[in-house]
């Protein structure tokens, strides 16, 4: 059993659809295909949601343009393929129009309405993919992901309800696979306990693939994207980045958490829990070996990643002698406020953590109010080096520090206590340069000499 996930650029147009069909056709045995919305469609739909508040006609025109784009892709289908899929695409659009009208009528663009609206992207793309597979003679069965990926109902950032999802997979997906159908479904979307559409967070189709892979006890999860695999740095920003043949679950998760967009960070956990290998592959160059992520995976080197929108939170115990339980209380307050920590440190009466900017600081402040003060600093970035080379070769840590040079570093730490990772919180303006330097020092060619750091 294999799950194949195709990202937005891997389903962007008819040519991409043909490549997808060829890839799925080279695989044998039971297959489940999970697809993202066509490239940029989710962004457009979110824009349309906002636009609906101000200008209903413009929002509807935006939807019409999206329908036209999907019909254009469908027009490449031979026979009556296009005619057969068109009513489905238009039906999805009608649902989106109703949501636009609700936003315009109520003058409120709520999270449940946005979830409903953006779901059109994955519904359209998955219908198209099923049609292209069927046209190629592959027996495909489209399944509405909202019937299968069951969640806690938290809009725009839902967590899967794995038990309910497994049950839904048993009811809807397994019977289709037993009939030797290739199951096709949309990533990113699901539904909450009340049946309302929810989404798993931006980039969440990877996570959908992992959730379905785990529910189906897949042998492998393939993430088909627009680059040759997981690189030692984002190849868009670090031109001499190299493809990593393999990487461990833990390192891949850290890299993704620190901004390597190639994989949604939550993808790893469901796969790692069942030891299901994840392979990252290029849909434009399917003969490339890609990157294998598993328990044994060793980067054989190191990789770097960076993310913006980081807030530093400092919790300081009140009074001269902090109570011995300060760290435990402060950490408990973070957990109670559902604050996900990127990296942090504690020393006596002071806890400093780097968190995502979306954290509700006031809730956190209220939770520590009776024993500590809380200060924040926003608009920072975090840069991370990760890889087994870092754990094996202590010189690399020295080189990493040398690469930091005279920049202002707000926090240094080992995410998750991993000896294979080192993270720093820095000013936004330093990120690009630092990324290149850290890559050169730890993941690339020659080490950076102390005096070479300007
Ligand atoms: P998809 O639509 O297939 O999900 P994404 O755009 O979400 O694709 O992710 C692929 C992109 O991730 C690449 O184009 C690349 O620019 C970016 N990326 C960031 N860090 C890395 C990395 N370490 N290795 C590979 N790609 C990376
Ligand atoms: N289409 C969604 C997004 O753009 C999910 C994904 O691409 O993984 O965020
Ligand atoms: Mg993605």
Q: Give the model confidence (pLDDT) of 87-100 as tens digits.
A: 999 999 999 999 99
Nearest to 384 by CA among 250, 201, 280: 250
pLDDT at 159 over 70: yes
Residue 269 counted as domain residue: no
320 and 412 share one domain: yes
pLDDT of the residue at 451: 30
203 and 334 share one domain: no
339 and 430 share one domain: yes
175 and 317 share one domain: no
pLDDT at 321 over 90: no
Q: Does the pTM exceed 0.85?
A: yes
Ligand 2 pocket test: pick from 187, 205, 206 the residue with the most ligand atoms within 8 Å of its Cβ.
Answer: 205
What is the bridge-based pairing of β-strands 220-225 and 2-6? parallel
Q: Rounded to the nearest whole angstrom, what is the distance from the C-alpha of residue 159 to the centroid of ligand 3?
A: 17
Domain span at residue 368 reads: 303-442
Instruction: Give 367-406 pLDDT, tens digit per residue.
Output: 999 999 999 999 999 999 999 888 888 899 999 999 999 9
Last residue of a domain, one of 225, 254, 276: 225
35 and 136 share one domain: yes
Residue 287 counted as domain residue: no
The mean of the pLDDT values for the chain is: 94
Residue 241 counted as domain residue: no
220 and 323 share one domain: no
Residue 297 counted as domain residue: no
Over residues 281-297, the mean pLDDT reads 96
Give the C-alpha separation, 402 to 413, whole Å.
16
Residue 453's SS3 state is coil
Q: Rounded to the nearest whole angstrom, what is the distance from the C-alpha of residue 260 to the centroid of ligand 3?
A: 10
Residue 106: count other Cβ atoms within 10 Å of its Cβ. Answer: 12
pLDDT of the residue at 453: 31
Q: Rounded to the nearest whole angstrom, what is the distance from the C-alpha of residue 227 to the centroid of ligand 2?
A: 16
Residue 274 counted as domain residue: no
State the closest ligand 2 atom to the C-alpha of 203, by its place in the atom list counted from 1: 8
Over residues 110-127, the mean pLDDT reads 98
307 and 221 share one domain: no
Contact 200/152 with Cβ under 8 angstroms?
no
Instruction: Give 125-134 pLDDT, tens digit per residue.
Output: 999 999 999 9
| CB of 386 closer than 6 angstroms to any ligand 1 atom | no
Contact 7/83 with Cβ under 8 angstroms?
no
Residue 449 counted as domain residue: no
- Which residue bears the tokens 């200060």? 375
pLDDT of the residue at 365: 95
* Length of the chain (residues): 454
Over residues 204-230, the mean pLDDT reads 98
Q: Rounded to the nearest whole angstrom, what is the distance from the C-alpha of residue 300 to the centroid of ligand 2?
A: 30
Last residue of a domain, one of 225, 256, 278: 225
Q: How remote is the C-alpha of 124 from its chain's centroid?
A: 20
- Residue 294: CA count within 13 A, CB half-sphere: 13
Domain tally, the chain? 2
pLDDT at 323 over 90: no
For 336, the token pair is 């109670």
179 and 38 share one domain: yes
Q: Read off the CATH number of the domain in which 111 is found.
A: 3.40.1160.10
Last residue of a domain, one of 225, 241, 257: 225
Query: Which residues 6+ apart lie within 8 Å of 149 measured at CB?
Result: 160, 165, 168, 189, 190, 191, 200, 208, 211, 212
6 and 111 share one domain: yes
Ligand with the closest atom to the CA of 242: 1
Residue 260 counted as domain residue: no
Residue 275 counted as domain residue: no
Q: Rounded to the nearest whole angstrom, what is the distance from the C-alpha of residue 340 to the centroid of ligand 3?
A: 21
Instruction: Give 402-449 pLDDT, tens digit per residue.
Output: 999 999 999 999 998 888 999 999 999 999 999 999 999 998 754 333
* Region of residue 29 (phi > 0: left; psi between -120 and 50: alpha; otherwise: beta): left
State the closest ligand 2 atom to the C-alpha of 204, by its place in the atom list counted from 1: 8
Q: Read off the CATH number of the domain in which 312 is found.
A: 3.30.2130.10
Instruction: Give 329-350 pLDDT, tens digit per residue.
Output: 999 999 998 888 999 999 889 9
307 and 426 share one domain: yes
Residue 349's SS3 state is coil
188 and 317 share one domain: no
Contact 384/305 with Cβ under 8 angstroms?
yes
pLDDT at 288 over 70: yes
pLDDT at 79 over 50: yes
Helix, strand, coil percentages in the chain from 3-state DSSP, rounded to 5: 45, 25, 30
11 and 138 share one domain: yes
State the closest ligand 2 atom to the C-alpha of 264, by its place in the atom list counted from 1: 8
Residue ranges with CB less than 5 Å from ion ligand 3 = 7, 203
């Amino acid at each position: 059993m294999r799950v194949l996930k195709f990202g937005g650029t891997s389903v962007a147009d008819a040519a991409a659809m043909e490549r997808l069909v060829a890839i799925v056709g080279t695989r044998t045995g039971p297959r489940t295909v999970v697809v993202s919305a066509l490239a940029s469609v989710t962004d457009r739909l979110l824009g349309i949601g906002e636009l609906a508040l101000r200008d209903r006609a413009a929002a509807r025109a935006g939807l019409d343009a999206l329908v036209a784009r999907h019909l254009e892709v469908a027009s490449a289908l031979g026979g009556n393929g296009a005619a057969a899929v068109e009513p489905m695409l238009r039906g999805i659009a009608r649902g989106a129009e109703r949501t636009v009208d609700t936003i315009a009528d109520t003058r409120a663009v709520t999270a449940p309405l946005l979830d409903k609206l953006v779901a059109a992207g994955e519904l359209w793309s998955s219908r198209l993919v099923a049609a292209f597979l069927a046209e190629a003679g592959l027996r495909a069965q489209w399944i509405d992901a909202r019937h299968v990926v069951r969640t806690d109902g938290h809009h725009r950032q839902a967590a899967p309800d794995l038990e309910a999802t497994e049950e839904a997979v048993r009811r809807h997906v397994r019977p289709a696979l037993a009939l030797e159908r290739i199951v096709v479904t949309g990533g990113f979307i699901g539904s909450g306990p009340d049946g309302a559409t929810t989404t798993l967070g931006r980039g969440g189709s990877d996570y959908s693939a992992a959730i379905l892979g785990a529910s189906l006890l897949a042998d492998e999860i393939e993430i088909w994207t627009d680059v040759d695999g997981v690189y030692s740095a984002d190849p868009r920003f670090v031109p001499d980045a190299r493809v990593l043949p393999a990487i461990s679950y833990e390192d891949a998760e850290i890299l993704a958490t620190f901004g390597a967009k190639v994989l949604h960070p939550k993808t790893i956990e469901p796969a790692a829990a069942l030891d299901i290998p994840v392979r990252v592959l290029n849909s434009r160059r399917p003969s490339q070996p890609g990157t294998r992520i598993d328990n044994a995976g060793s980067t054989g080197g190191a990789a770097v990643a960076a993310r913006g929108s980081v807030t530093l939170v400092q919790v300081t115990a009140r009074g001269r002698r902090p109570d011995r339980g300060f760290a435990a209380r402060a950490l408990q307050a973070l957990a109670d406020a559902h604050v996900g920590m990127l990296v942090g440190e504690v020393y006596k009466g002071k806890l400093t953590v780097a968190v995502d900017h979306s954290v509700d600081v006031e809730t956190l402040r209220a939770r520590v109010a009776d024993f500590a003060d809380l200060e924040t600093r926003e608009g920072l970035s975090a840069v991370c080096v990760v890889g087994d080379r870092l754990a094996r070769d202590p010189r690399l840590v020295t080189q990493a520090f040398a690469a930091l040079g005279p920049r202002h570093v707000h926090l240094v730490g080992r995410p998750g206590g991993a000896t294979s990772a080192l993270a720093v919180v820095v000013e936004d303006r330093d990120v690009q340069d630092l990324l290149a330097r850290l890559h050169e020092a730890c993941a690339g060619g020659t080490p950076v000499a102390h005096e070479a750091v300007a």
